[in-house]
Structure 1
Amino acid sequence: MSRRVSPPVEEFPKLRQPLTAGERTVFEMFDRHLPVEWEIYVQPHMNGLRPDFVLLNPKVGIGVFEIKDWDLDAMRYSVEKDDDGMPALVARRDGKRFSLQRENPVLKVNLYKDSIYKLYCPRLEQNDGFAAITAGVIFPYADTRRVKGLMRYFLSNEEAEEYAKYHPISGMTEVRSSNVRAVFPEAFRSRSRLMTEALAEDLRGWLVEPDFAKIQREPLILDPNQKNLVATWPASGYRRIKGPAGSGKSVVLAARAAHRADQGKSVLIVTFNITLWHYLRDLVVRGLKESQSINLIQFDHFHSFCRRVCDDAGFTNRYQHICSKYASDKNHLLRVAIPRLAEEALETGEVEKFDTIMVDEGQDYEPRWWNILRKALKKEGGEMLLVADATQDVYGTGKAWTEEAMHNLGFRSGPWAQLKTSYRLPAIAKSYARDFARRFLPPLTADLPDEEQADLALENCRLRWVQCPEEEGVEACVRELLLLMRQTGTKALANADITYLTDDTKLGEEVISTLSNRNIRTVSTFNQSVMERRREKMGFYMGDARIKATTLHSFKGWEARLLVVYVSEFRTEESKALIYAALTRLKRSPDGSWLTVVCAAPELAEFGRTWPDHHERGHGVVLFHTVAE
């Protein structure tokens, strides 16, 4: 029997937050001396909390540990009373006082223990169940007596005496001698009546390393066609690439951006939605040979770029004036007034120019905007890249990119470079996405992925459709999210990989509020304040340890393996394109992928009945239910 370690030991050198020397030493002690039944989770994404180690034995209990590599001689550490008369950890060096209360390891580990007990293992016995969790603090490079003397102020008398074994404080003496019994007194129990496999499953969903964290350590993988598009470039300096969802358009963009940055060239990557920045940046980082090359790459969205060039050119007052002038006409402001001023700034002002400019999700751009971006390109050796998928034209701008229009945009005559194979979508999900496009999208705009021959019995992909009345949308979404959470932990799935998408921000807010009432934290972009929603989008990224929740618009270009999608509207061509985009966000994985659609649009009920796992609900009652074999 081998020990379960997540992430695997061989991946430790690639962790985005490398292990400290002390953490590595403690891990080796645990790995060598703990009974093999103890699972070790390193820096787990625990719903926004990041303990250094969580240990789990389904028959015995749980251990959560905070490691501090502090040298207690480097500063003068002490405990003082704060303004409320409570003990606070402080340090002094060179006459300066530093508060260390935010880094207080006892407070941190007690928070982890409390969260595990109340939130992540809610089925633990009340009161007695607290004893199933050990919360330990380890200082690998500090004298044990000094550590205990410093930390004792933050342990209650009850903890210090009767329950000291559940709150062990250890120093270099225990670590150097590999005295695991002192570091983790409960480690050598054979079993406990308080712990069960079912309780372990509750917790594993929060401990298993999320898919996005694993992928981020892998280099970009390209097929021969994609490699050719990255390695070669047209003499004109302009390239356009189109392809269906999941065909690797963003991967090619990221790989070329990394290639140019590694050559010392400046790169501007421009998107339409703000949330896509983090996804593209993560792709670019995986393609870089030199990590510092990322400093040569700027990420922006078009209107933010316009604002920046106006500021650089000294047009700040004029920019603010037109924003006030057209405040009641946002469409004219964003589509005409701001771009026109930015164009003038680029033509007359001293603004930054780039060696490379790239536009992702180009179907969302107007051709005139592309021409404005061209003015920010350096004349010597500059190159531009446009990638697009007309099938995901959710703003109705894609139809403007005619061949005639593109003659005036720097492109030479001839076909687009094309990617045809969708690597993202599981075969069965690809089949249903193609069916949706054939039924509901205009045939001239449908750029569909190739058909794929696959043994669907071997491909672990679950598709589920829930048709419900609009008034039951919140309840249905919460129910499906909780149902998906029950799949995590035992199937190498993590709760942090769950993403909830909706076309209704008000309903989305109600869903995350309901989850919050159940102590399930999310990172979302549903704030009704425009400014706050913008800030939320800037902070939205898959590396966040919480469940993700955003709009169908904001998730364009992204991917996830655990998806719940809510659809309320199906009246316009743009809404149909948006639904198609959502259906193609599912990412295949050998460990499985799940897509659930909760639909309140009656026009899609018939399409939903074709899905393998189908439910229809009416006012709380299941009216129709099928599970296809």
Structure 2
Amino acid sequence: MAYMIPETIRRTATAGERILFDSLRDHLPSDYIVYYEPEIRGRRPDFVILGPDLGLVVLEVKDYTKSTLYQVNQDEWVLRNTAGELVKTKSPFKQARDYARFITDHLKRDKNLLSDHGSYLKFPYGYGTVFTRLKQEDFIKHGLYQVIEPPFVLCRDEIDPDEEGFAADILLEKIHGMFTVWSPRKTKLTHEDIQAVRFHLFPEVRISAEFKPPVQHQDQLLLSLHNIKTMDLHQENMAKQIGDKHRLIRGVAGSGKTLVLASRAKMLAKEHPDWKILVVCYGIPLSRNLRQMIERMLNEPDDLLDLLNPPSAEGRNQSNVEVYNFHEWLRNCLRMQDNDIPFLLDKAQKGEAILPTYDAILIDEGQDFEADWLKLLCCCLNPDTQSLLLVEDRAQSIFKRKTSLAQDVGLDFRGRSKILSINYRNTAQIIQFAWDFYQEHSQLKNKVQEGTVEGVEIVPPQATKRKGPEPIIQTFRSIQEEMNFVSKSILFLNREKQIPLQDIAILYRVKNSHHTSYIDEIVQSLVQHQLPYTWVTENASSKRNFVRDEKTVKISTIDSAKGLDFRAVFIVNIENMPFPLEQAEEREVALFYIGMTRALEWLFLTYSGESKFTRYLDRVVQQRAKPAANQMQSG
């Protein structure tokens, strides 16, 4: 069964398109990717098939009947439309050929996808036509095979399993035969090759890439990319499949929920430039990061070579996407505070309120939104579009919400919810460590379910194969010793592991106590070690002005780090967790889980006091020491 993107066909598709969609899904190999009507740099071919042993094939689909065809030749077809008028159009075969050449000419700009000779793609590409309402006997009877040769044609009886002449192996064989040029040394597409093809053709799936300096090669400027990173196919499907009306995505920490949301915002902005789109989340730093991410996506050129010359400030696209944290949106767009919401909702129900209208609303950190907040946002949604996306992870809920989305908010997500269960952010060591802690301390662990979508509260993460060091646990006699260790570790990571300072964060639970100013100790130690820093959560202004890529170590509370990630994370003063003044220990468990899952590669856990959480960490250290001690005894 092939992987379809999107996973379901649009409702307005013809019956013939549906038959072909289902046949390609059911009868092509599982390592094939089939794109239905993908948007590729302003063009929209009907189907693009990508397979390791196939290469790339473009299919042009027509639902012409015998009565539709008036006069045909190899270049131009004259058709009779439903009004009986004669219209001219390009030959379907030429349409498929032009799409294929357009795509492959674009891919040839990446020299990593070229053959050893340097001018041809290292994998074959082909193109063909599909006639969903004409059978092979019709083609023979009307001499159509003289216009398009049989290897490049699929007829109704070759794609429809209900037809007597259908055979799955013949369908696959014919798709494999749609090539005009065969390479004597046919190269199988590697995972990296397929990732590169997706990177170039679909800018919306890009996460990052590193660039080598461009070189002159055969009078062409070719760009070489390495360490290309794209959304995986499941994430891409999420972003592209989300259809009309409201949708819910639940995902584990690090599963790319925010990336899917940002990619969805970009696609909506490009497809509907006249739409007014709102992106809203809970935390201020995340809202700034989201805004920067979406702006980068919207202004990133589709053309590979243009990546070397990013647009100037004057040349950037004017975005129709507004990004706020919820309370900022309340203040700036509605000129109101939290306690005014019930009164406004009452007026809205009576039709007496004047509210802004958005054609699409995308909500990140949905688990932290109160029922009235969601109701208010729903009142601002265009009833004609009903395009609402809610993204959440109940394991990261830092506020106790007993909201039933269907009962309390009026949002019924049955049949409209998806799960992202694979953690891409963290190494296997970090996610396992964080999940072990969560399972032992959370009162919600009995709500963890696997397999089903509806009703899932907490999604257990599945780690990727990415490995790294075990989380480092250190205890100290004083906060000064602790921070000295943290600063020296940052210098080590920066100098020896080449981790930029902007990819390092220090997270804290509270900034001071009655006897110690923890934030002063953190800042003083960084200054002593000549480490530039940004205290993100110093005040409202510092949160609003947060710039993720500023070349400084970031200092933040744990809850303000939600939605962000760093290659190295230090959680300090863990003896302050669970915080004695916090009545709901579940919130403290979620906060610590959130903090740990901010780390991509390196996680440091330090403390110079004692609490329930540090006693757990002490036990982990003791358990780690047992195998080493046993090994020494046996030696």
2:533 paired residue number: 522
1:490 paired residue number: 496
In 1, distance between residues paired with 2:624 and 2:284?
35
1:7 paired residue number: none
Note if contact 2:505-2:554 (Cα within 8 Å) is conserved in structure 1. yes
Q: Does 2:524 align with 1:513?
A: yes
1:562 paired residue number: 568
Q: Does 2:382 align with 1:378?
A: yes
Q: Does 2:331 align with 1:307?
A: yes
Using the TM superposition, give the Cα deviation of residue 479 of structure 1 relative to its aligned residue in structure 2, in angstroms. 2.2
2:417 paired residue number: 416
Residue 253 of structure 1, aligned match among 257, 261, 267: 261
2:169 paired residue number: none
Using the TM superposition, give the Cα deviation of residue 490 of structure 1 relative to its aligned residue in structure 2, in angstroms. 2.8
Residue 546 of structure 1, aligned match among 547, 552, 559: 552
Using the TM superposition, give the Cα deviation of residue 609 of structure 1 relative to its aligned residue in structure 2, in angstroms. 3.4
2:45 paired residue number: none
Report the TM-score, using the length of structure 2 for normalisation.
Answer: 0.53
In 2, distance between residues paired with 1:355 and 1:283?
21
Residue 222 of structure 1, aligned match among 214, 225, 231: 231
Note if contact 2:251-2:393 (Cα within 8 Å) is conserved in structure 1. yes
Whose relative contact order is higher, 1 or 2, with alpha carbons under 8 Å and at least 6 apart? Answer: 1
Q: Does 2:482 align with 1:476?
A: yes
Q: Does 2:367 align with 1:363?
A: yes
Q: 1:445 to 1:368 in 2, by over 3 A?
A: farther
Q: Does 2:294 align with 1:284?
A: yes
Note if contact 1:307-1:342 (Cα within 8 Å) is conserved in structure 2. no
In 1, distance between residues paired with 2:342 and 2:392?
21
Note if contact 2:250-2:393 (Cα within 8 Å) is conserved in structure 1. yes
Secondary structure, in 3 states, of the residue corresponding to 1:230?
helix
Using the TM superposition, give the Cα deviation of residue 295 of structure 1 relative to its aligned residue in structure 2, in angstroms. 1.6
2:191 paired residue number: none
Using the TM superposition, give the Cα deviation of residue 227 of structure 1 relative to its aligned residue in structure 2, in angstroms. 1.7
Unaligned segments of structure 1, at least 5 residues = 1-211, 312-318, 320-332, 528-532, 617-623
Residue 605 of structure 2, aligned match among 596, 599, 624: 596
Note if contact 1:427-1:452 (Cα within 8 Å) is conserved in structure 2. yes
Residue 605 of structure 1, aligned match among 614, 626, 632: 614
In 2, distance between residues paired with 1:284 and 1:310?
23
1:77-476 correspondence runs (5 A): 221-235=230-244, 237-263=245-271, 264=273, 265-288=275-298, 292-293=316-317, 295-311=319-335, 319=336, 334=338, 336-338=339-341, 340-341=343-344, 344=347, 348=352, 350-397=354-401, 399-401=402-404, 404-405=407-408, 408-414=409-415, 416-442=417-443, 443-444=445-446, 447-452=458-463, 454=465, 459-468=467-476, 472-476=478-482
Code of the aligned partner of 2:293: L
Identity of aligned residues (%): 22
Using the TM superposition, give the Cα deviation of residue 480 of structure 1 relative to its aligned residue in structure 2, in angstroms. 1.6
In 2, distance between residues paired with 1:343 and 1:251?
35
Secondary structure, in 3 states, of the residue corresponding to 2:547?
coil
In 1, distance between residues paired with 2:342 and 2:551?
37
Using the TM superposition, give the Cα deviation of residue 607 of structure 1 relative to its aligned residue in structure 2, in angstroms. 2.5
Q: 1:290 to 1:463 in 2, by over 3 A?
A: closer
In 2, distance between residues paired with 1:308 and 1:339?
18
In 1, distance between residues paired with 2:243 and 2:577?
42
Using the TM superposition, give the Cα deviation of residue 421 of structure 1 relative to its aligned residue in structure 2, in angstroms. 0.5
Code of the aligned partner of 2:490: L
2:595 paired residue number: 582
Using the TM superposition, give the Cα deviation of residue 534 of structure 1 relative to its aligned residue in structure 2, in angstroms. 0.5
Note if contact 2:279-2:324 (Cα within 8 Å) is conserved in structure 1. yes
Using the TM superposition, give the Cα deviation of residue 626 of structure 1 relative to its aligned residue in structure 2, in angstroms. 8.6
Residues 90-123 of structure 1 show CA distances to partners (whole Å, capped at 9, x for unaligned) of xxxxxxxxxxxxxxxxxxxxxxxxxxxxxxxxxx
Note if contact 1:613-1:626 (Cα within 8 Å) is conserved in structure 2. no
Report the TM-score, using the length of structure 1 for normalisation.
Answer: 0.53
Q: 1:450 to 1:273 in 2, by over 3 A?
A: closer
Q: How many residues align?
A: 372
Note if contact 1:477-1:511 (Cα within 8 Å) is conserved in structure 2. yes
Secondary structure, in 3 states, of the residue corresponding to 2:284?
coil
Q: What is the aligned-residue RMSD (CA, Å)?
A: 3.5
Using the TM superposition, give the Cα deviation of residue 540 of structure 1 relative to its aligned residue in structure 2, in angstroms. 1.9
Note if contact 1:615-1:625 (Cα within 8 Å) is conserved in structure 2. yes
Using the TM superposition, give the Cα deviation of residue 396 of structure 1 relative to its aligned residue in structure 2, in angstroms. 1.3
Using the TM superposition, give the Cα deviation of residue 595 of structure 1 relative to its aligned residue in structure 2, in angstroms. 3.4
Secondary structure, in 3 states, of the residue corresponding to 2:495?
coil
2:453 paired residue number: none
Q: 1:432 to 1:412 in 2, by over 3 A?
A: closer
Using the TM superposition, give the Cα deviation of residue 287 of structure 1 relative to its aligned residue in structure 2, in angstroms. 3.8
Code of the aligned partner of 2:388: M
Using the TM superposition, give the Cα deviation of residue 374 of structure 1 relative to its aligned residue in structure 2, in angstroms. 1.2
Using the TM superposition, give the Cα deviation of residue 219 of structure 1 relative to its aligned residue in structure 2, in angstroms. 8.2
